[in-house]
Amino acid sequence: MGIVLGGLLVLTGILFLSGIGLYNGLVSLRNRVKNGWSQIDVQLKRRYDLIPNLVEVAKGYMKHERETLEKVIQARQQAITVSGSGSVAEKAKAENFLSQTLRSMFALSERYPDLKANQNMLQLQEEVTSTENKIAFARQYYNDEVMRYNTKIEQFPDAVIAGMFQFNKEEFFEVEDAAQRQAPQVKF
CB < 8 Å & 24+ apart, contacts of 42-45: 42/138, 43/131, 43/134, 43/135, 43/138, 44/79, 44/83, 44/95, 44/135
Closest CA to 179 of 71, 98, 107, 100: 100
Which pLDDT score, from 0 to 100, does residue 33 have?
Answer: 94
pLDDT at 187 over 50: no
Q: Considering only residues 68 and 28, tell me which one the structure prediction assigns the higher pLDDT.
A: 28
Q: Within 13 Å and on the Cβ side, how many CA atoms surround 87?
A: 7
- pLDDT tier at 142 (50, 70, 90 boundaries)? very high
pLDDT at 50 over 70: yes
Buried b (16+ CB within 10 A) or exposed e, 3-24: eeeeeeeeeeeeeeeeeeebbe
Show Cβ contacts of residue 115 under 8 Å, excluding neighbours closer than 6 positions: 57, 58, 61, 62, 109, 121, 188
Which pLDDT score, from 0 to 100, does residue 66 have?
Answer: 76
Q: What is the pTM of this model?
A: 0.72
User: What is d(CA 29, CA 148) in angstroms, rounded to the nearest whole number?
Assistant: 7
Q: Considering only residues 31 and 174, tell me which one the structure prediction assigns the higher pLDDT.
A: 31
Instruction: Write out pLDDT tens, residues 74-129.
Output: 899 988 888 878 788 888 888 888 888 888 887 777 777 776 667 777 788 788 88
Q: Is the dihedral of CA 48, 53, 56, 59 positive or negative?
A: negative
User: What is d(CA 8, CA 66) in angstroms, rounded to the nearest whole number?
Assistant: 76
Q: Would you tell me which CATH number, out of the four given (1.20.1440.20, 1.20.1250.20, 1.10.3720.10, 3.30.870.10), belongs to the domain 26-181?
A: 1.20.1440.20
Show Cβ contacts of residue 162 under 8 Å, excluding neighbours closer than 6 positions: 26, 152, 153, 154
